[in-house]
Structure 1
């Protein structure tokens, strides 16, 4: 009979952190006298539950023999039944039994102690039987998963239960993934945190907690920073609205909330989308390839270009929404280049690939973009569709950003213009100084009017299908064959609404008025419009 703590049923459905468990955790932290990670606490609790079950079974088993049909049992003898979840019972009677194939054997009547009539079991039955061959010896622990293995297998359920219980308890305090005892926190004068505020302000950048502790004068001469002091100051800063942690995983860096850009915690309107649904099963090979090729953070990671964590250089194409607000998408292809944290946005440095100058960048993992490129886009006069190159450096807190420069020349580009409250397109000559994706290239002649049109379409909640039907003729007139490439349609739609390629492609394959023409090109027949 399998132990409860060895089953998915126990850890995923039955496991609850009770008062006794909280006392165990409390004593563990008290004994260590330092903050303990959630992982360590959870593994210890798994071990505690496994040990308790093992101890309970060992105690029960001391009262009698394990039942096996081949054995014989005396009246008043206590038996343990492994197949009945190690229930115990006392033999109260016996009689002879007979089986036409196996012959005679003994039938014992056992009082299970539950108030019901005795249950009968075979005894003196040496023939083949599952319980005769199974080994229920306590000494034989082969095949049992260790507490660490159980934790890794059912980690999500266990962590959620332990974290929830500790967070709801008044006895514990938390900073990131570590817990400590609330009553054991040292007290600090409020004025010390005013000093921390001033220190960060004077530094004109974030400071590590150990640097702040030194500035605050918490330590005595010659004293080193203890884990308890470090945790306590971090906890106090995290609960003071003036301060924000902007460090990457494994590093705490404190900054001031009042000088943190709002885009770090509130995604720009241009990056927010309400269109998300698509089904790749409906896409042909051309659309599947384009879905992977387009660098868009709203595309499901399974459908995006695969990640290469060893890639030191990545090139992506700048789309209109990111061009407009000075951001770049975080996709599986780019994610490994940027410092990140599970708890907060991360402040890092962009390095201009042309000049070597640095300027602040922000990793906003919750919304899958990096922020801080608006001035750089404008300074270099980069258009929508420009190839942007990102390079890893030896410093994980610096990322080189560059573009593929060319000699300035005039070329024909799609020019977006709002005319009579309608988005129109025409081919106009424009000076360009970089390489770009011709299918994605768009210039905006009336950005202020475009913004108004964006707001209007958003407020009216214009269906995506209608947006595509309205824009398709504007784009098809620019091509002698009256065709529009799916990437061009994606780029143009995003001038008016933030939409990933998936939902746009879903509309193309869902309506008869959109007709595929091979290699990603489509035509539009308004006579077939729904």
Structure 2
């Protein structure tokens, strides 16, 4: 019989890190003298709990009589231990003959347990499920570390991370934990020297090991602990940003990061517009091509290693890409770092240039020059793809088959009024016709953006609708075209545009993504 340990099974079902676990983790880290990840600490805690539980059971069964097995005979006043009842102790207080015509001769013992409870149990039965001797180690799933981790690892890791983060005596950096009191002392002199080294390296990025070598911190015996201590000291110093992708620690001088990485560019700033129509998502799914908008909560997630999107004006102007549900998985991420430095590689030219993932604000920076070299316009199609190299993203745009195309063009009047017209333009890259917009005078449009706070969204929506209706022989407005056009004037995800088209009394819905201005509104 394998040990049936209900208490330990319940412990796994309701796992929480307790004070004894924290004390064990602290002692374990002291013993190892090396920072360890939450996953490594979780495994150690599980092994320790199993070990302690087995020791407790052995202690319970030691010196308190025989283990009860139904095949054995017993005497009055004999002390027994009952595994099937949670290893309770009991004394035989009566023995009698048993009777069951379907069974061979057997006896019944009456047992009084230590808590006063009385039970009658059959004995001298040669065949019984409980006759197998108890194996304290056995294959009980409650004692199987691999099975426990397979069933609960993700949940347990979240709980252990929460518990460790609430303990002031333990600190974390780059996913590893260690007692603060045992860190190597990193004084201000080291940190000042690192600032000068990073300035010389144009801000960075440099690995921790590179920095340790240059400040001669590589002479300390425990190099892992020294590296952990330096990482923590730099993390707590506002001069430095850890900008490496998950699995790699890279340091950058915060003051030398691009301004549009430290602060959201003007063209990506958004003031929320309420959406109250429940049908918005249904129509969003009808958009042509892959819509990627970091502000769109209804955008579906994607897992393809290669994604093609059409470029929206605000991102074209800011030299950025959206870090939206559709495309975010392609780019490197990090456990804690708000900004991640990586490399783009142009698939056509093999040129490598720097990019930045700005995680919390949801955009990827560093593409202004590349957009210009490729002759891209708002609406151009861009493909990004993961590579096997950590921190590198492949990027390309397809060359246009036509030299010139008729494209919606935004014109800015002397009074800063916005007009749309269909004009012919030279084209270098393929584009999404619904999303494409030519911008002959970027500087004039910039002046409009600087006054965007004065705009009434509904008035702008209606104004843009009128302009687009003039370009269509039937006077129709296409929702996707309107989304692209609105974003030439101020930042807006597609849902508020759809919400306006579906709810405005001035707009008639013709079906799918087609709308029409009601009579008197044109």
**TM-score, structure 2 as length reference:** 0.79
C-alpha separation in 2, matches of 1:123 and 1:509:
77
Among candidates 331, 337, 350, match of residue 338 of structure 1: 331
2:474 to 476, 481, 490: 481
Q: Which residue of 2 aligns with 1:233?
A: 230
Answer yes or no: is 1:411 the counterpart of 2:427: no
Alignment equivalent of 2:303, drawn from 303, 307, 319: 307
User: Which residue is 2:311 aligned to?
Assistant: 318
Matched, 1:181 2:182: no
Give the drift of 1:522: 1.7
- Residue 514 and residue 38 in structure 1: after superposition, are their counterparts in 2 closer, same or farther (change >3 A)? farther
Partner of residue 17, structure 1 = 18
| Structure 1 residue aligned with 2:363 | 369
How big is the shift at 1:233? 1.8
Residue 213 (structure 1) aligned with residue 212 (structure 2): yes
1:12 deviates by: 5.8
1:211-253 CA distances to partner (integer Å, 9 max, x unpaired)?
2112112345xx8882122222222222222111122222222
Structure 2 unaligned residues grouped into runs of 5+: none
C-alpha distance in 1 between matches for 2:33 and 2:342: 34
Contact 1:34 1:180 in 2 (8 A): yes
CA deviation string 1:451-500 (max 9, x = no partner): 2454235xx7x58xx87566444433322233333322332343455444
Residue in 2 aligned with 1:169?
167
* CA distance in 2 between partners of 1:403 and 1:112 (Å): 80
Give the stretch that moved more between structures: 493-502 or 383-392.
Answer: 493-502
Equivalence map 1:61-460=2 (5 Å): 61-62=61-62, 63-64=64-65, 74-82=75-83, 84-92=85-93, 106=108, 108-113=110-115, 117-124=116-123, 137-138=135-136, 140-144=138-142, 146-204=144-202, 205-220=204-219, 226-268=223-265, 270=268, 272=270, 274=272, 287-288=284-285, 290=287, 293-298=290-295, 303-304=300-301, 306-309=302-305, 311=306, 314-331=307-324, 334-335=327-328, 337-344=330-337, 345-351=339-345, 358-378=352-372, 381-390=375-384, 396-406=390-400, 409=404, 411-415=406-410, 425-444=420-439, 446-452=444-450, 454-457=452-455
CA separation of 1:71 and 1:323: change in aligned 2, threshold 3 A: farther
Distance of aligned partners of 1:456 and 1:33 in 2 relative to their CA distance in 1, 3 Å threshold: same
Q: For the structure 1 residues 497 and 151, does the alpha-carbon distance in structure 2 shift closer, same or farther, using more than 3 Å as the test?
A: farther
Instruction: Tell me, in whole angstroms, the C-alpha distance in 1 between the residues paired with 2:382 and 2:37.
Output: 40
Alignment gaps of 5+ in structure 1: none
Matched-pair contact (CA < 8 Å) for 2:407–2:437: no
Specify whether residues 500 and 91 from structure 1 end up closer, same or farther in structure 2 by C-alpha distance, changes over 3 A only: farther
**1:392-446 Cα deviation digits (max 9, x unpaired):** 6675444454433447536231426589888664434444433211101124565
Q: How many angstroms apart in 1 are the aligned matches of 2:399 and 2:430?
A: 6
Map of 1:41 onto structure 2: 41
Please give the secondary structure, in 1, of the residue aligned with 2:487.
helix
Deviation at 1:526, TM superposition (A): 4.9
Change (3 A) 1:497 1:95: farther
Is residue 514 of structure 2 the alignment partner of residue 522 of structure 1? yes
Deviations 1:54-102 (A, max 9, x none): 2222322343555677776544444445555444444445678889999
Query: Within the alignment, does 1:52 sit opposite 2:52 as a pair?
Result: yes
- Residues 146, 97 of structure 1: CA spacing in aligned structure 2 closer, same or farther, 3 A cutoff? closer
Structure-2 separation of matches of 1:16 and 1:398: 38
Provide closer, same or farther for how the CA distance between residues 139 and 193 of structure 1 changes in structure 2, counting only shifts above 3 A: closer
Name the SS for the 2:428 alignment partner. Answer: strand
1: CA distance between counterparts of 2:185 and 2:252?
22
- Choose which of 475, 484, 488 in structure 2 pairs with 1:491: 484
Provide the rounded CA distance (Å) in 1 between the counterparts of 2:194 and 2:326.
Answer: 38
Q: Distance in 1 between matches of 2:352 and 2:169?
A: 45
Q: Distance in 2 between matches of 1:227 and 1:418?
A: 63
Against the structure 1 CA distance between its residues 11 and 111, is the aligned structure 2 distance closer, same or farther, given a 3 Å change threshold? Answer: closer
Give the Cα separation in 2 of the matches to 1:236 and 1:289. Answer: 51
Contact persistence 1:426–1:478 (CA under 8 A):
yes
User: 1:139–1:54: structure 2 CA closer, same or farther, 3 Å change rule?
Assistant: closer
**Are the structure 2 counterparts of residues 16 and 209 from structure 1 closer, same or farther at C-alpha, using a change threshold of 3 Å?**
closer
| CA shift in 2, pair 1:526/1:249, >3 Å | same
- CA offset at residue 325 of structure 1? 2.1
Classify the secondary structure of the residue corresponding to 1:193. Answer: helix
Change in Cα spacing, 1:224 to 1:281, as seen in structure 2 (3 Å) is farther
Q: Distance in 2 between matches of 1:307 and 1:14?
A: 32
